[in-house]
Amino acid sequence: MRVSIITPSFNQGSFIERTVESVLAQRGDFELEYLVVDGGSTDATLSVLRRYEGRLRWISEPDRGQCDAINKGLRMTSGEIVAWLNSDDTYEPGALQAAVEALRAGARWCFGECRIVDEQDREIRRGVTAYKNAQARRYGLRRLLGRNFISQPATFFRRELVAEVGPLDEGLHFAMDYDLWLRFARVARPVFVPRPLAAFRWHASSKTGARYRTGAWEAFRIACRRARGTERLALPGHLARYAAQVAVYQALDLAAALRRR
């Protein structure tokens, strides 16, 4: 079974080598296809990628943003199982084998636990992780419409699922993964893998780290668009959680800033 991993990249030279190493270190009963789709980086990214030629494929050319890069990667790869890993995130050891086992058993998509780490790979925001894990164990479509708890770096899916529901919406800028999960959920129930599969890097220059308020609002608008009938009863709760999430993240940012003083 072939697993295709796509890394969209743009000027993440400080982190991308850790991303690449975490992918290439994966071992298991699968064939790995790894493609980095770079948007024309001007930092150290390309010099890093050149050191791995022969172990991965990469292209570097201007694109229309992250969604365009991922969709391009989907068209350029051929694995039955697909995922994307952003150029500042990492996989945990054994992640791909765990995903392959879940999907080989009959699931069409799966997701696991995801740690949150800082620039030095230290785990942070454990409370946020614990909350997402608790929600994941109680998965349901209405619950997903009421809160965005599926961590993108720890999600894997069959290529046929993308062919059925369509690629990433290039009109979205932050919660494009959440939109895709809701479309997946209409046609297939995911399997939750109760172990860490990835680490999401929270830092000031990341899209999520710098503009979490905007990203959370985009997720709420997506939920409003995707909800049907009585599912809309989940939307007021989503809005309330949006306000709570922003307040919590602001408090965490303030606490982190105070610790750095």
**Mean pLDDT across the stretch 157-184?**
97
Closest CA to 139 of 103, 93, 182: 182
**Mean pLDDT across the stretch 96-125?**
97
Query: pTM of the prediction?
Result: 0.94
Q: Is the pLDDT of residue 127 over 60?
A: yes
% pLDDT > 70, the chain: 97
**Mean pLDDT across the stretch 200-206?**
80
At 157, the pLDDT band (50, 70, 90 cuts) reads very high
Residue 23's contacts (CB-CB under 8 Å, 6 or more residues apart) are 5, 7, 32, 34, 56, 85, 91
Query: CB neighbours (10 Å) of residue 177?
Result: 22
**Mean pLDDT across the stretch 204-211?**
61
Query: CB neighbours (10 Å) of residue 123?
Result: 12
Residue 9's contacts (CB-CB under 8 Å, 6 or more residues apart) are 16, 36, 37, 38, 39, 41, 45, 69, 87
Rg (alpha carbons) of the chain, rounded to whole number: 18
Q: What is the pLDDT of residues 21-57, one digit of tens each?
A: 999 999 999 999 999 999 999 999 999 999 999 999 9
Average pLDDT, the chain: 95
